[in-house]
Amino acid sequence: MKNAILIILLVLSSLKLYSQSLKLDTIYANDHKNVALFFPSPIQQGITGSENFVFTYNREKEQHFGLLQATPGRVSNLLVISDSGAIFSYIVKYSNDLKKLNYFIAASNSIGNVIPVSEDNEDIKKDEGLKEDSAKSISYSNENYFRKFCSYLIEKKQGIGKIKKRKNDIVLSLENIVFEKEQLFFVLEIQNRSTIDYEVNFLELSVQTEKNGKRKSMQKLVQEPSLKFQMPEIIKEGQSARFIYVLPKFSIADDKVVMLDLNEKNGERNLKLKVKQRFINSPN
């Protein structure tokens, strides 16, 4: 129960739960059968609180169902958000004997909504003359959601492997790439293992063509982030900083790579970190 509330607060801190004593239904799963969950509207996001539970769903084309599997371990939770903004939360447990393999979730089982409906929002929807203001409100809500999702990712330990570059005791690491709401979230870290503070001039992300021989020219296309979350200006000696670049979803061809260029202000401790195609085209 505590894990469920913690994740909800991290991802959706503005959500008002009915109460902290809200009793959640339990779904059982194991590692040799698929448990199917069918929701009243397509799934936008599904999160489990522990690595021994895996909830899979179509991230490219939103669908109404997802599959849950589990390995033996501690009790955890599942949080699902539909494209309507409805939020569903369940306790998940491992069980070798499954009495139920299909769950048909009713809309009434939702514990809340990502964007609470207020009287002001209802007035905007009813007044066709305020369409422009309504569009601005949606844009603001998306950015607000992205920031809360970034806060969740900063604390999450899930990663894609060791992708890092080190130079002069400065380490640039790409810890994770997550696809969510048609955006790619690049979870990054800069470690300063030196005895001198590191002041960031800029961190540029670009798509480049890999060199195959001397005659092949290098093409570079800079990708501008739609959001920089907790981007540091200075990393003190012996410290590190985690931050996130949010970019509109993109993919790259076989001969392309993503290059992260970290540039030091008033210094020469610059790093270039190359990210291969498979990490960009198959994010978490």
Q: Which domains does the chain have, with CATH numbers?
A: 2-116 (2.60.40), 163-281 (2.60.40.1150)
More confident residue, 7 or 142: 142
What is the full DSSP assignment across 168-198?
TTEEEEEEEEEEETTEEEEEEEEEE-SSS-E
Distance CA 100, CA 119 (A): 41
Pair 35, 103: CB distance under 8 Å: yes
More confident residue, 160 or 246: 246
pTM value surpassing 0.75: no
Distance CA 192, CA 224 (A): 25
Q: How far is CA 9 from the centre of its chain?
A: 15
Nearest Cα to Cα of residue 185 among 174, 173, 172, 200? 174
Q: What is the pLDDT of residues 62-93, one digit of tens each?
A: 889 999 999 999 999 999 998 878 899 999 99
More confident residue, 17 or 109: 109
Q: What is the pLDDT of residues 152-176, one digit of tens each?
A: 898 887 778 789 999 999 999 999 9
Nearest Cα to Cα of residue 17 among 29, 7, 31? 7
What is the residue type of 89? S
The answer, yes or no, to whether residue 147 has pLDDT greater than 90, is no
